[in-house]
Structure 1
């Protein structure tokens, strides 16, 4: 369990909800870099919200935005590929035995690199079209669906085995390049 409180909104515009999680990821990344912070708690909170967020986007947000023609199949698939890369970086981070090693610092740096790339790209190519092309009511409905799946995953909790299974599934699905 973690000492971090992960926000659990009950409603909202899906764009605003996703952006709030993006800011939370950035806050938790700062704590993961800070040797005076409770890095272990930050790591656990980061893993939980990151997986819950990604799974909710893939299950509810991307398919609905495709149906609304706000994004195309390539943008949805690219988002899923980036989630797979993030999950692989998360697995490397979770596999670190402690939080006071060079291996941990390197894993944090690698995670930050793939995460920042994804956040920037998603905000530009997925969230902007959602703002422009999806009605306020549909964004609110999508926000509720996103929060339901996100909440379910947060309730279940996330451990290294779940992240390993997500990475293995992504490899089977061809979402990860064989760069490692």
Structure 2
């Protein structure tokens, strides 16, 4: 197995810490597309980072930014929905047996599209307001809370297939994945 460095920040401006992870996601996606890389190790690393990052944002960053009115409730909920969609798409990548198939390439392409969309949108609608409307001290405090939760999640092995399945099932049960803007629709969670 190839060891992949996911970083281990302990403090810093939360905006910068999130951006560092965003660049890690982009690098991991490039490695997932590279047929000469250890794609199995890369998908496990990507899963770990994706879950740890999303959990830390949802537990600490989004709620604090909502309380400071830097972002709206809708923006926070939309970010959480996109995390759930990312987890669901990631699950499809994790469940594939081989990494040298067209099905794997197609699943990676879908994951890359979803994740890249989310990174762009989050940087524009959540991180820019955080930079502009939240003081440096609060961003530093938030950065420490984000880093601690992110690292705890990684240490707990958050990116396992079993855990990603659990997260996706919980999102389906909560109605987050049942349709666009909760229009009702198919209750089975099938696409």
- TM-score band, normalised by shorter chain: over 0.9
- 1:68 has 2:68 as partner: yes
Give the aligned CA root-mean-square deviation in angstroms: 1.0
In 1: Cα distance, 2:38 partner to 2:127 partner: 32
Kindly report which structure 2 residues correspond to 1:119-134, keeping only aligned pairs within 5 A, or say none: 119-134=119-134
Q: In structure 1, what is the equivalent of residue 161 of structure 2?
A: 160
5+ long unaligned stretches in structure 1 = none
Q: Check conservation: 2:91, 2:164, Cα contact below 8 A.
A: yes
Paired residue secondary structure (1:149): helix
- 1:172 has 2:173 as partner: yes
Once the two structures are superposed, residues 13-50 of structure 1 have per-residue CA deviations (whole angstroms, 9 ceiling, x without a partner) of: 00000000000000000000000111111111111011
What is the aligned residue count? Answer: 180
5+ long unaligned stretches in structure 2 = 180-188
In 2: Cα distance, 1:4 partner to 1:134 partner: 33
Q: Taking structure 2 as the reference length, what is the TM-score of the superposition?
A: 0.92
Q: In structure 2, what is the equivalent of residue 89 of structure 1?
A: 89
**Runs ≥4 in structure 1, deviation > 4 angstroms?**
none
Kindly report which structure 2 residues correspond to 1:1-180, keeping only aligned pairs within 5 A, or say none: 2-157=2-157, 158-176=159-177, 177=179, 178=189, 180=191
Q: Check conservation: 1:2, 1:44, Cα contact below 8 A.
A: no
Paired residue secondary structure (2:69): coil
